[in-house]
Structure 1
Amino acid sequence: MNIKPECIGCIAAQSRRVCEAIHADQALSDQITQYVDTALQNADFTLSPPVLAAPLYEQMARFAEKHDLYDEQKLYASQQASAYIPFLEETISQSEYPFHTLLKSAVVGNVIDLAAEVSFDLHDAIQSVFQTDFAQDDSEKLQEAMATAKTLVYIGDNAGEHIFDALTIRHLKQLYPETAIYYMVRGNPIINDVTLKEAYEAKIDELCTVIDSGVPTPGFVYELASEQACNLFDSADIVLAKGMGNYECMTPQRRGNICFLLKVKCSVVATSLGRSIGDIVCRFS
């Protein structure tokens, strides 16, 4: 999906959040925000929001002389998420519909997004997700497809959220032991998205095959992916894509059997999906 006028203000606001996150002094803050504001004046409206934002974040990182702008925030989010794993394990084990509850457990982590218009409270998010129905619920269709799937490509989103992805993958392996699962992460640090570093720290590679997609954007862009990632994306029986960035980059879809699993956190994505900010969505087509 292409950027809308609202995206410009959102990305500009993100640059100010970056300054706060890295504790930038006034000179660095001015350098970052002035650069972003100037760059956005000539924004290419044929791009998706993540593709537009990616080079801006790369330049912000160079200004700040940091390889990973959100390294501290990613670590904190991961620690927060880990504390809730026992609760989620118990919730899944006691559920009458474990597959549906498993999807809810995966979605609950999607609130961890430092690039969204809204802030997050993980405790409140967990409580609200389990008390909220999917605004679009294609979980039964996904479950039917999983019954015969030989391969699943699971495209991650944010660090911290990947802790819940690990739980989800572990349970999917129990439910579908014959299905080969591949977990795709970003090619390099971008915003707070999950990379190989966080995936290995969470030992996701002990659960399934972890793939560096090669993509430098906060969302899976097929044209920027490695040959291995493209081949897996094309050949997988099912692709499960987490979060808004993946939805923005993969809409319109280039293949079928993609499940978008996300929490709606901005007005542009809400409009695209015909939903409201705060809705949770399991869209499979």
Structure 2
Amino acid sequence: MTIDEACIGCIINQSLKVANAIKADEVLTEKLVSEVTKSSKDFSFSLTPPEVATDVYEMMALIAEKQDLYDEVKAHSTQKALEFVPFLQYKIDNSKDKLLTAVKVAIAGNVIDLAAEVEFDLADEVEKIFDTHFDYDEFEKLKASLKEAQTLLIIGDNVGEHIFDYLFIQTLKELYPLLYISYMVRGNPIINDVTMKEAEEAGFDKLCNLVDSGVNTPGFTYDRANEESQKLFDSADLVITKGMGNYECLSPARRTNMAYLLKVKCSVVASSLGKNIGDIVCKMI
């Protein structure tokens, strides 16, 4: 999906979020906001929101002289997410439907999004997610696809959320022991998206096949991915994408037998899905 007029204000607002995250002084804050505002006049409406955001974040990184704008925030997000692991593992272990519970765990983690129009509290989300129904509910289709699949690709989204994805993959390995699972991350730091660094620190390289997509966008942009990732995306029996960035980059879908798992956190994505901000989505293609 390509950017909407509403995306412009959202992206400009992200310059303030960056300034706060890096504890920028007044001069640097003003420069970040003014440069992003200036660049917004040239945004291409033929690009996806993550593609536009990539150029903006790379510019802000140069201005701030900081390669990973959210390194400290990402470390905090990981530690915060780890605090919920015992409770989430308990919920999965004692669930009558472990797959459904694990899918909801994966979606609960999707609230950790530093580029969203609307922010949600992680603790509140974890507390209510298990009693929340999917607003776009194609869980049974996903379950049927998992039963038939031999290879699965999960495309990750944000740091902190990846801890919840780890529990999801653990459960999938228990339920489908013959399923070959790959977990794909971003090629370099962009916003608070998960990269090889955070995935390896969490132990994904020992849990499943860990793949660097090569993309520099906060979402899987197929044409920017390395050859290995493109082949894996094309050949996997089933692809599960996490979050809005991946949805924005992969909508309309490039393939069939693909699932979107996400929390709706902006009006543009809500409109695209015909849902509301705050809804949780399990959509199959």
State how 1:87-166 maps to structure 2 within 5 Å: 87-166=87-166
Q: Distance in 1 between matches of 2:190 and 2:152?
A: 24
TM-score (norm 2): 0.99
Quote the RMSD (CA, aligned, Å): 0.7
- Matched positions, count: 285
The match for 1:256 is 256
Q: Distance in 2 between matches of 1:56 and 1:88?
A: 36
Does residue 1:193 correspond to 2:173, yes or no?
A: no
Q: Distance in 1 between matches of 2:40 and 2:111?
A: 26
Q: Distance in 2 between matches of 1:137 and 1:86?
A: 27
Unpaired runs of 5+ in structure 1? none
Q: Distance in 2 between matches of 1:46 and 1:55?
A: 14
State how 1:26-65 maps to structure 2 within 5 Å: 26-65=26-65
Kindly provide the amino acid, as one letter, of the partner of residue 137 in structure 1. Answer: D
Q: Secondary structure at the match of 1:147?
A: helix
Q: Distance in 2 between matches of 1:275 and 1:148?
A: 29
Q: Distance in 2 between matches of 1:34 and 1:44?
A: 19
TM-score (norm 1): 0.99
Kindly provide the amino acid, as one letter, of the partner of residue 150 in structure 1. Answer: Q
Q: Secondary structure at the match of 1:140?
A: helix
Q: Distance in 2 between matches of 1:121 and 1:80?
A: 12
Q: Distance in 1 between matches of 2:130 and 2:275?
A: 18
Kindly provide the amino acid, as one letter, of the partner of residue 192 in structure 2. Answer: N
Q: Percent identity?
A: 55
Cα offset, 1:120, TM superposition? 2.9
Q: Secondary structure at the match of 2:3?
A: coil
Does residue 1:233 correspond to 2:233, yes or no?
A: yes
Kindly provide the amino acid, as one letter, of the partner of residue 10 in structure 1. Answer: C
Q: Distance in 1 between matches of 2:207 and 2:42?
A: 44
Deviations 1:106-129, CA, capped at 9 Å, x for gaps: 100000001111223211011122
The match for 1:84 is 84
Q: Distance in 1 between matches of 2:208 and 2:222?
A: 22
Q: Distance in 1 between matches of 2:123 and 2:130?
A: 11
Kindly provide the amino acid, as one letter, of the partner of residue 278 in structure 1. Answer: G
Unpaired runs of 5+ in structure 2? none
Cα offset, 1:63, TM superposition? 1.0
**Segments of 4+ in structure 1 off by > 4 A?**
none
Does residue 1:173 correspond to 2:179, yes or no?
A: no
